[in-house]
């Protein structure tokens, strides 16, 4: 169920803190709304120090990513945790066109002979030499107005993965609307918080929640751009709107800084 924000009252043609939000963002959202939102699978491979990482890297790089692309997935991001919990671990972001494609991927991999050959060392792991310690999988659905992954510019980058938890279904839906149609993503872009994806969590331990990923050239740029965002008059007005304040619709935030692997497609 959606709990729509009155976008016209907040953004359309309105001057927020002395500036008008550009109409181009609204037009881009309208175009995006015609696309079907992707399904994101976020795998977290928990590892122990030693040879696990090398075996997993070889499998993902040489077997899984090529096979997943042949099955219609991608671009696929592979990251390690630089700052935050769950280290050592490897996070794999897999965009699927539909939920049916997510469900079909294991079967497609099982019949892909090139995948079996290239990934044999990992796929045939034994209890004495396992490929990973444990695996967590989270499913997400892209926001309607940002329905697919946006690949960042090339070059050295860091990524920030954030999850917002809400106290109720209504609060979670309101937080999604605040980002998706309420104008917060537009403010992100304008202040240098470059999004990779925004999504509603379909599975997880603390539902309802949403997850998004940002990218920056480096930590110094991240700190500077977050400071610009926090001081932005439009955001200050949005976050002070009754019904949209953090105490009303969020109960906590999980935050991690990630580094892409050399073979990551994102």
Residue 250 and residue 219: Cα distance in Å, rounded?
26
Residue 60 and residue 55: Cα distance in Å, rounded?
9
CB 187 within 8 A of CB 234: yes
What dihedral do alpha carbons 186, 188, 191, 193 form, nearest 10°? Answer: -140
Domains and CATH numbers, the chain: 39-140 (3.30.70.100), 141-259 (3.30.70.100)
Model pLDDT, residue 16: 32
Q: Residue 255: enclosing H or E segment and its boundaries?
A: strand 252-260
Model pLDDT, residue 156: 78
- pTM (global) more than 0.85: yes
Q: What is the mean pLDDT of each run of 10 residues along the chain (266 residues)?
A: 41 33 44 80 96 96 98 98 92 98 98 98 94 97 97 89 97 96 96 98 96 97 98 96 95 97 96
Residues 6+ apart with CB under 8 A from 39: 95, 96, 97, 98, 99, 101, 102, 139, 140, 141, 142, 202
Model pLDDT, residue 32: 57
Q: Which residue's structure tokens are 């995948």?
A: 115
Q: Residue 78: enclosing H or E segment and its boundaries?
A: strand 77-83
**Among 115, 133, 119, which residue's Cα sits nearest to residue 52?**
133
How would you class 266 by CB atoms within 10 Å of its CB: exposed for 0-12, middle for 13-18, buried for 19 or more?
A: buried
Q: Residue 238: enclosing H or E segment and its boundaries?
A: helix 233-239
Say which DSSP state 60 is in. Answer: I
Q: Residue 67: enclosing H or E segment and its boundaries?
A: helix 65-70
**Among 147, 200, 146, 138, which residue's Cα sits nearest to residue 172?**
200
Model pLDDT, residue 138: 98
């Amino acid at each position: 169920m959606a709990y729509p924000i009155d976008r016209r009252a907040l953004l359309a043609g309105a001057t927020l803190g002395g500036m008008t939000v550009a109409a181009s963002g609204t037009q881009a959202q309208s175009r995006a709304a015609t696309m079907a939102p992707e399904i994101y699978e976020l795998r977290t491979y928990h590892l122990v120090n030693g040879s696990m990482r090398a075996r997993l890297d070889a499998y993902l790089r040489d077997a899984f990513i090529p096979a997943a692309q042949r099955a219609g997935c991608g671009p696929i991001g592979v990251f390690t945790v630089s700052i935050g919990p769950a280290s050592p671990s490897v996070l794999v972001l897999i965009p699927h066109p539909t939920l049916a494609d997510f469900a079909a991927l294991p079967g497609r991999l099982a019949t892909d002979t090139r995948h079996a050959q290239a990934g044999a060392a990992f796929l045939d792991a034994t209890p004495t030499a396992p490929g990973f310690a444990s695996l967590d999988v989270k499913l997400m659905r892209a926001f309607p107005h940002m329905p697919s992954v946006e690949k960042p510019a090339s070059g050295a980058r860091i990524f920030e993965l954030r999850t917002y938890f809400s106290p109720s279904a209504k609060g979670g839906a309101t937080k999604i609307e605040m980002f998706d149609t309420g104008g917060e993503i537009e403010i992100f872009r304008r202040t240098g918080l470059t999004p990779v994806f925004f999504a509603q969590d379909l599975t997880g331990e603390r539902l309802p929640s949403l997850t998004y990923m940002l990218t920056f050239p480096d930590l110094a740029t991240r700190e500077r751009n977050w400071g610009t965002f926090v001081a932005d008059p439009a955001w200050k007005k949005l976050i002070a709107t009754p019904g949209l304040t953090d105490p009303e619709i969020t109960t906590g935030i999980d935050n991690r800084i990630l580094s892409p692997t050399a073979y990551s497609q994102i």
